[in-house]
Structure 1
Amino acid sequence: MSRADGETERIEACFSGLAYAPHSHDTYTLALTTQGVQSFNYRGELRHSLPGEVVILHPDETHDGQAGTDDPFAYRAITIDPVDVQNILQGFSLPFLDGGVTKQPQFIEIAKKLLSEFNRPLEKLEHQDLIYAFANCLQQTTSNSIKHTQANYHAMKRVREYIDDIITIDSSLSVDITLDELAVISDYSKWQVTRDFRALYGTTPYRYVTLKRLQKAKALIECGIPLSQVSFSSGFADQSHMTRHFKKCFGTTPKTWANLSQ
């Protein structure tokens, strides 16, 4: 596995047999299959993507990954933050592509622009332009166009920005953020916060914080920091706590990720 770090994470990988255990991301995943048959269980069915086809996985949807034949499969993928998509949609629920695989030319074009020049970091404006195209294309080609009120959108935006600010201030990510705090900030009940944050950003506030911790953990692992130190520095109770969340989110363990990053 190799990665190119630009505005967001891009991954290139080749696997035989079972690639990933069941897991879910808190981001969209846009993947272009480049070799073999990329197969995965998604929303109760086994899906298949052939070379040139595009996989689009919705945030927080459980899936795995495996070769669909005895031959290996390969793909290039990019993670897309639902926050970036929501900043474009401005209050519409996150679009959902039923089935997770598409042959639609507009998605193939976007995927190729994001992933073809894999070793060249994306320019910021280039990345923003393509994310805008992705968000609009996804909304236009799906049936999910439910509009939430502007008050709802702005309230959840305040919640997200508060979490981001707290995490920025506390570099260890060990701060304990509560739903009661978020309810005061949004002027909602805490259960409304959980429901509406998920509708707009594809995950709950707790999972959003956990993702931030995991992102820091991955960065530290890739720098060669010992796993015991990584877990402490990224705000987890201990290494086993980090490992459970890491595997649930990425389908592999921190130790395996460290080996792939070497």
Structure 2
Amino acid sequence: MNSAAHSSNPSHSAGSFELIERVANRLVGAAFSPHRHDTYTVALTMAGVQAFNYRGSMRHSLAGQVLILHPDEIHDGHCSDEAGFSYRAAYVPPAHVQAVLGGAKLPFVVNGVSTNPALIAAAFNMVIDCAGVEDPGAYEDALYDLAHAMNNAAGRAATVRIANRTAVMRARDFLETAVVFGARLDQLEQVTGCDRWQLSRDFRALLGTSPYRYLQHRRIDLAKRMLREGAKLAEAAHGAGFADQSHFGRTFRKAVGLAPKEWLRSDLFRTIIL
């Protein structure tokens, strides 16, 4: 049996960044011939075993592992058994990674396959969580985490700099005014006069989270207030600046640990409003 199912979803990325491509693919009884990309291939094996030749050796990526192929490296792809495999991937331009790392050499992940938990988490965010999300800030945030996770996996120490507290506080104050309409890193760069990626690093260092996730938590706080006041889920999602109710639900669960409806029924919610 020769079959392959494939879908491609180009997605808008951050600021002046061009589109990036994301794919979902299932391969059974078929194979990719040797080829190369001019991007990083960031892929998560969802089921089965993905086999491929890479840098002179046969590699295998199992379900739950992450595959990171360096730009311009020849590779193929085939099934290791008749059951086939499925994966999801994003193709990230090296220029995007380079922007985050600020001139450092592009990271190279040895063997192309990793079980590094931080790298898997960053890849999951880039490949799956960001798919279909219209907010460019989601890509900026995922890109930052992925670039640094790849850099750490490659054994490179990050350069230590003193955080710019003034810029971070200005960025935080601006985010507080932009809860509904949102803000991108290029806007924060204009507000603070600080390079967007340095600002992102300093924000994490001083406030314990990224600018994007800080904004998402403020949106969740606003949505909670609206729900306590009797708003419907769709009204709270729209009123707090989420693109749609699905995005609101995913973000709410990440922040609270419960879906909005579960939170409304929870003892925690009843304790809050008593």
The normalised TM-score by structure 1 is: 0.53
How do residues 16-27 of structure 1 correspond to structure 2 at under 5 angstroms? 16-27=28-39
CA contact (8 A) 1:59 1:82 kept: yes
CA contact (8 A) 2:126 2:146 kept: no
SS of residue paired to 1:108: helix
For residues 15 and 51 of structure 1, what CA distance do their matches in structure 2 show? 14
For residues 17 and 128 of structure 1, what CA distance do their matches in structure 2 show? 37
TM-superposed CA distance for 1:143, in Å, is 3.7
Decide which of 140, 153, 159 is 2:152's aligned counterpart: 140
CA contact (8 A) 1:4 1:121 kept: no
User: Is residue 109 of structure 2 the alignment partner of residue 97 of structure 1?
Assistant: yes
SS of residue paired to 1:39: strand
TM-superposed CA distance for 1:12, in Å, is 0.3
Residue 143 (structure 2) aligns with: 131
How do residues 1-262 of structure 1 correspond to structure 2 at under 5 angstroms? 1-7=6-12, 8-117=20-129, 120-143=132-155
SS of residue paired to 1:34: strand
Larger Rg: 2
TM-superposed CA distance for 1:69, in Å, is 1.2
For residues 118 and 126 of structure 1, what CA distance do their matches in structure 2 show? 6
For residues 108 and 156 of structure 2, what CA distance do their matches in structure 1 show? 6
SS of residue paired to 2:72: coil
Encode CA deviations 1:91-117: one digit per residue, 9 max, x unaligned: 211110010001111121112222335
Gaps of 5+ in 1: 148-262
CA contact (8 A) 2:122 2:149 kept: no
Encode CA deviations 1:143-180: one digit per residue, 9 max, x unaligned: 467x9xxxxxxxxxxxxxxxxxxxxxxxxxxxxxxxxx
Encode CA deviations 1:22-71: one digit per residue, 9 max, x unaligned: 01110001000011110100001100011111000000000000011121
Residue 233 (structure 1) aligns with: none
User: Of the two structures, which has the highest relative contact order with CA contacts closer than 8 Å and spacing of 6 or more?
Assistant: 1
For residues 116 and 87 of structure 1, what CA distance do their matches in structure 2 show? 22
TM-superposed CA distance for 1:138, in Å, is 1.0
Gaps of 5+ in 2: 1-5, 13-19, 160-274
